[in-house]
Chains A and B, each alone.
Chain A
Amino acid sequence: MEMESARSEQYPLRRREVVPRLLAERGDLLVVTGLGAPSWDATAAGDHPLTFPLWGAMGAAAMMGLGLALAQPKRRVLVITGDGEMLMGLGALPTIAAQAPKNLAVVVLDNERYGETGMQTTHTAGPADLAAIAVGAGIPVAADIFDEDGLADALPRIRSEPGPVFFNIKIRAEDLPLALPPKDGAYLKTRFRAALLGPGAD
């Protein structure tokens, strides 16, 4: 299959500039991030008790967002993940569409690479289009974002448009310094629940 292996090295949007804007003035936003770079990006933007950064469970991020969105229908839930991570759990898209939670937004940082493992191309460097897959899955609001204009338009929709919404942000393939969140999964869970549900939650 033909891969455009150098294409994403030229994309204008940069992940470490996009993610802080996704998380700016986050209010009571609940966040789940996919393993690897998206978790490091969110940490670089500021570790937060109401961000659950995955360190494993590749393919889980969107489904964790769904479970959280169903449990907390009054809170906005944002999933930030990578194209490789999303491709591993594509079935989540029709599952989310079937449940149709209005409070869930899924954002993919699509560098067309498996960044964490050596920048190998993913299928999105070829013909695969995640936003089109989301449309086909039945997600009512789904689009690709290629540039600053698209991002500026999408930011308020990610935060408040009745969902589920799905945005695939084409970002530059680049190797960046790690910014690691706490690694203990039980701690991350307890910290999140205490911040959301109060100190009585264990």
Chain B
Amino acid sequence: MEHAETTGWPGQIHAALREHEVRQVAYVPDAGHRELIAMCERDAAMTGVTLTTEEEGIALLGGAWLGGQRGVLLMQSSGVGNCVNMLSLARTCGFPLLMLVTMRGQWGEFNPWQVPMGQATPEVLRLSGAIVFEVDKADEIAETVNAAARMVFNGPSSAAVLISQRVLGAKTFGR
């Protein structure tokens, strides 16, 4: 792909990731990240890495940074629960860790199994030493990703952008 696809917030995130020279895009798929994942997979400058569990992504991106590459971890809020011990790796070593989290269990969730982890997500991340940005307006997502990426890669630090279920809307979750 030659140019960033800038339509809609997934395209704007993709453009921001390109601007920050993100090369490794690690993810366990989430419906809310579907468009962004597809854009990153189409982008020849990025390597998409499908994980079996989200914690793999934190180790992957630590290794990427050792090798001089930047990365991002895409996941849904339940995936944050899978990461808890690995978050110490990023914090102890000062690996930059940019996490983009699509929220579940939060805004009119239809599946009660998502609610406990979704509700705990911001606190779990904060307790583990990550900076947390919560966004609930589509037109504020890209600038928030930009702000988070600047802090992550200049810090370095761990930061998560939590994209509200309110933004993801009924279309994505109207199953």
Contact = CB atoms under 8 A, between A and B. Distances in A.
Nearest to A188: B93
B92 A186 contact: yes
A24 B75 CA distance: 40
A71 B92 CA distance: 21
A197 interface: yes
Interface residues of A, number: 37
A91 B67 contact: no
Per DSSP, are chain B's interface residues mostly helix, strand or loop, or mixed?
A: helix
A189 B93 contact: yes
Interface string B83-94: 001101100111
B47 A57 contact: no
A72 B56 CA distance: 19
B93 A71 contact: no
Contacts, number: 115
A71 B66 contact: yes
Interface residues of B, number: 32
Interface in A51-104: 52, 54, 56-72, 89, 91-92, 94-95, 98-99
Given A57-B88, A185-B93, A186-B92, A67 B61 contact: yes
Interface of B: 23-24, 47, 49-53, 55-69, 71, 85-86, 88-89, 92-95
Interface of A: 30, 32, 52, 54, 56-72, 89, 91-92, 94-95, 98-99, 185-186, 188-189, 192-193, 196-197, 201
